[in-house]
């Protein structure tokens, strides 16, 4: 079997038995990136020499009897909004084009403890704002299944790198669907954990109450293992969950779904969902039923407002978080400006791209005096209604299911002139972030033009186990093959 087509857990077995070296795995992936990434553009920072050096270090560690853990020697791409010490981190923005991280994010510390192999920093929409990866100062990422189409966003680089066999796994961030949506469009598995399960320390804040780091893989097992590697309480993130007074539902593989109660919210099967996508989702639901799950249609009425609520809350938080980019402590500065205020204003005007500026403007407006109550506070009240709708649904159902994205991958440029159509791309993923619950996207079929379709599985807060159970059963029945055209 070709090295680049193997999953992390398969490579792990070979490394453990010393049948293969980390260096060989690294070289195979470097070769692949050099061959395909000029077309895909999944990487912003990629340094083959350093990768080989690090792989050799890992091999020395193993030969001296070091413990081989799940991700020891496994090449992983990291979204370029996650800090890796002494490596450039751009957030795909001109304003951070020359920034070098001075510390490791907690997720990176955890992966370092396993001696993982950093492949490079992955492309994304600028500051994770976008649904197509076209808002990158480093150029758009192309979908490996069709180079004229988008990979989805904002974690387009992570998704495309895994789908094109450039990386084994990846870490992305998900604020309104930024892991699940590109996973769906690229035909890979992407998981967004319960809010607070994975430390946000060292991920550049976009919307702090919604952001969560999560894994990409080519199968469910790799996503579960990577999630287990990066999750856990962290005192450096005050929103990180301390599980000692909470029940942890550990997932054991092969549990099956007999008797599992599955709800299908009609608000996620909206008119925007393409008929082919809908057919594939209904088909996948039948597989759940065949395996013993009880299926029932349900309703979460307040989800109708989720998109509007999100496009108030996320830009509001972003407008506050991004105020730190002012040309003083790091990043780009307009050096010709006269005086401090002009420097701020010109630096931010030239440093941020159009979508980021737009969201700063939306957020600043919604938080401004006279409008706060009507927009931000009102949105937070409806968010409470959305959370309550989910709570009610999960008092009856173990999981909720539906499409991840209303359509398959769209053409580059197709939605760039229609903001609201672009925002609609996330209509099925946004409710999950507003409620803080876990959700996965797994590939469930191909459209007639040979593009992947994603199936979304959601569960109650801290019930990752239910997500994984259903995902594993579906995966074993669907027999998905990743066949990108590159």
User: Does residue 335 touch other proteins according to CB under 8 A?
Assistant: yes
Q: Which stretch binds other proteins (CB under 8 A): 42-50, 266-274, 323-331, 399-407?
A: 323-331
Q: Concatenated DSSP letters for 315-366?
A: HHHHHHHGGG-SSSSSS---TT--SHHHHHHHHHHHHS-HHHHHHHHHHHHH
d(CA 439, CA 82): 21
Residues 271-300 that bind other proteins (CB under 8 A): none
Stretch that binds other proteins, among 152-160, 218-226, 342-350, 477-485 (CB under 8 A): 342-350
**Least distance between other proteins and beta carbon 323 (Å):** 8
User: What DSSP assignment string belongs to 383-401?
Assistant: HHHHHHHHHHHHHH-SEEE
DSSP state of 193: P
Interaction between residue 239 and other proteins (CB under 8 A): yes
Q: Does 147 bind other proteins (CB under 8 A)?
A: no
Which tokens belong to 115?
């001696």
Catalytic residue list contains 5: no
The answer to whether 7 contacts other proteins (rule: CB under 8 A) is no
Residues 352-371 that bind other proteins (CB under 8 A): 352, 357-358, 360-362, 364-365, 368
Q: Please, what is the minimum distance in Å from the beta carbon of residue 226 to other proteins?
A: 22
Q: What x-and-dash track marks residues 421-460 binding other proteins by CB under 8 A?
A: -------------xxx------------------------
CA 258 to the chain's CA centroid: 30
From CA 427, how far away is CA 181, in angstroms rounded? 10
Choose, by CB under 8 A, the member of 337, 416, 421, 478 that binds other proteins: 337
For residue 370, give both structure tokens. 């006279």
Interacting residues with other proteins between 199 and 218 (CB under 8 A): 209
Does 302 sit near other proteins (CB under 8 A)? Answer: yes
Which strands form 43-45's sheet, in the order they lie side by side? 43-45, 117-122, 75-79, 169-174, 212-217, 189-192, 439-446, 452-459, 399-403, 261-265, 294-298
Task: Identify the residue among 198, 312, 440, 457 touching other proteins (CB under 8 A).
Answer: 312
Q: Which of 77, 131, 132, 154 is catalytic?
A: 154
Verify binding: residue 340, other proteins, rule CB under 8 A: yes
Residue 236 CA: distances (Å) to CA of 107, 174, 198, 245: 12, 20, 11, 19
Strand partners of residue 213: 173
- CA gap 319, 360 in Å, rounded: 4
Cα 432-438-442 angle, rounded to 5 deg: 95
3-state secondary structure 72-110: CCCEEEEECCECCCCCECCCCCHHHCCCECCCCCHHHHH
Among 1, 247, 254, 338, binds other proteins (CB under 8 A): 338
Segment 372 to 391, residues that bind other proteins, using CB under 8 A: 374-375, 377-385, 387
Regarding 103 and contact with other proteins (CB under 8 A), the answer is: yes
Query: Applying CB under 8 A, which part among 42-50, 131-139, 261-269, 319-327 lies near other proteins?
Result: 319-327
CB of 141 to other proteins, least distance (A): 24
CA distances from 218 to 7, 161, 183, 269 (A): 7, 11, 10, 26
CB-wise, 59 or 389, nearer to other proteins? 389
The residue annotated as part of the active site, out of 178, 240, 316, 425, is 178
**Residue 79 annotated in active site:** yes
Residues 107 and 202: beta-carbon distance below 8 Å: yes
Q: Closer to other proteins at the Cβ: 165 or 311?
A: 311
Does the footprint of other proteins cover residue 248 (CB under 8 A)?
no
The two most distant CA atoms of the chain are separated, in Å, by 70
Q: Can 178 be counted among the known catalytic residues?
A: yes
The token duo for 146 is 């069709």
CA dihedral sign, ordered 135, 139, 143, 149: positive
Query: 334: which 2 tokens?
Result: 């307009």
Count of chain residues binding other proteins (CB under 8 A):
70
Contact between 331 and other proteins by CB under 8 A: the answer reads yes
Q: How far is the CB of 154 from other proteins (least distance, A)?
A: 18
Distance CA 33, CA 466 (A): 35
Binding other proteins (rule: CB under 8 A), the pick from 43, 46, 127, 344 is: 344
We find the least distance from the C-beta atom of residue 377 to other proteins, in angstroms, to be 5
Residue positions annotated with a catalytic role = 79, 154, 178
Residue ranges in contact with other proteins by CB under 8 A:
98-100, 102-103, 194-196, 209, 235, 238-239, 241-242, 302, 305, 308-309, 311-312, 319, 323, 326-333, 335, 337-346, 348-349, 352, 357-358, 360-362, 364-365, 368, 374-375, 377-385, 387, 419-420, 434-436, 461
């Amino acid at each position: 079997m070709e090295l680049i087509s193997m999953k992390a857990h398969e490579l792990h077995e070979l490394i453990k038995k010393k049948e293969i070296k980390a260096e060989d795995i690294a070289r195979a992936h470097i070769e692949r990136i050099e061959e395909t990434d000029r077309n895909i553009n999944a990487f912003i920072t990629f340094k083959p020499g350093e990768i080989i050096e690090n792989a050799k270090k890992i091999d020395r560690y193993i030969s001296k009897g070091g413990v081989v853990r799940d991700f020891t020697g496994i090449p992983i791409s990291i979204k370029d909004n996650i800090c890796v010490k002494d490596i450039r981190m751009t957030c795909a923005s001109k304003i951070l084009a020359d920034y070098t991280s001075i510390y490791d994010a907690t997720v990176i510390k955890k992966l370092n403890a396993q001696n993982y192999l950093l492949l490079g920093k992955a492309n994304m929409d600028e500051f994770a704002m976008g649904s197509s990866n076209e808002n990158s100062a480093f150029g758009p990422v192309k979908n490996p299944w069709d180079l004229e189409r988008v990979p989805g966003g904002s974690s387009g680089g992570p998704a495309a790198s895994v789908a094109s066999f450039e990386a084994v796994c990846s870490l992305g961030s998900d604020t309104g669907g930024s892991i699940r949506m590109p996973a769906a469009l690229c035909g890979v598995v992407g998981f967004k954990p319960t809010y607070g399960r994975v430390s946000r320390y060292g991920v550049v804040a976009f919307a702090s109450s919604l952001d969560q780091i999560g894994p990409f893989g080519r199968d469910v097992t790799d996503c579960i293992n990577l999630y287990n590697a990066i999750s856990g309480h962290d005192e450096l993130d005050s929103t990180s969950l301390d599980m000692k007074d909470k029940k942890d539902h550990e997932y054991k593989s092969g549990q099956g779904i007999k008797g599992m109660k599955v709800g299908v919210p009609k608000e996620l099967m909206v008119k925007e969902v393409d008929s082919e996508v809908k057919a594939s989702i209904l088909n996948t639901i039948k597989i759940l039923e065949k395996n013993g799950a009880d299926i029932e249609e349900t309703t979460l009425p307040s989800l109708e407002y989720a998109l509007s609520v999100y496009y108030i809350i996320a830009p509001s938080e972003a407008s506050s978080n991004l105020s730190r980019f002012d040309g003083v402590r790091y990043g780009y500065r307009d050096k010709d400006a006269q005086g401090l205020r002009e420097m701020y204003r010109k630096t931010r005007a030239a440093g941020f791209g159009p979508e980021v500026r737009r969201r700063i403007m939306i957020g600043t407006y919604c938080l401004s005096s006279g409008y706060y109550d009507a927009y931000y506070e009102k949105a937070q009240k409806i968010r409470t209604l959305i959370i309550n709708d989910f709570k009610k649904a999960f008092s009856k159902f173990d999981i909720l299911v539906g499409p991840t994205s209303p359509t398959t991958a769209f053409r580059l440029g197709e939605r760039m002139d229609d903001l609201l159509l672009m925002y609609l791309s996330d209509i099925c993923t946004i409710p999950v972030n507003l409620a803080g619950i876990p959700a996965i996207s797994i590939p469930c079929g191909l459209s007639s033009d040979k593009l992947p379709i994603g199936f979304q599985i959601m569960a109650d807060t801290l019930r990752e186990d239910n997500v994984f159970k259903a995902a594993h059963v579906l995966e074993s029945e669907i027999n998905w093959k990743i066949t990108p055209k590159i």
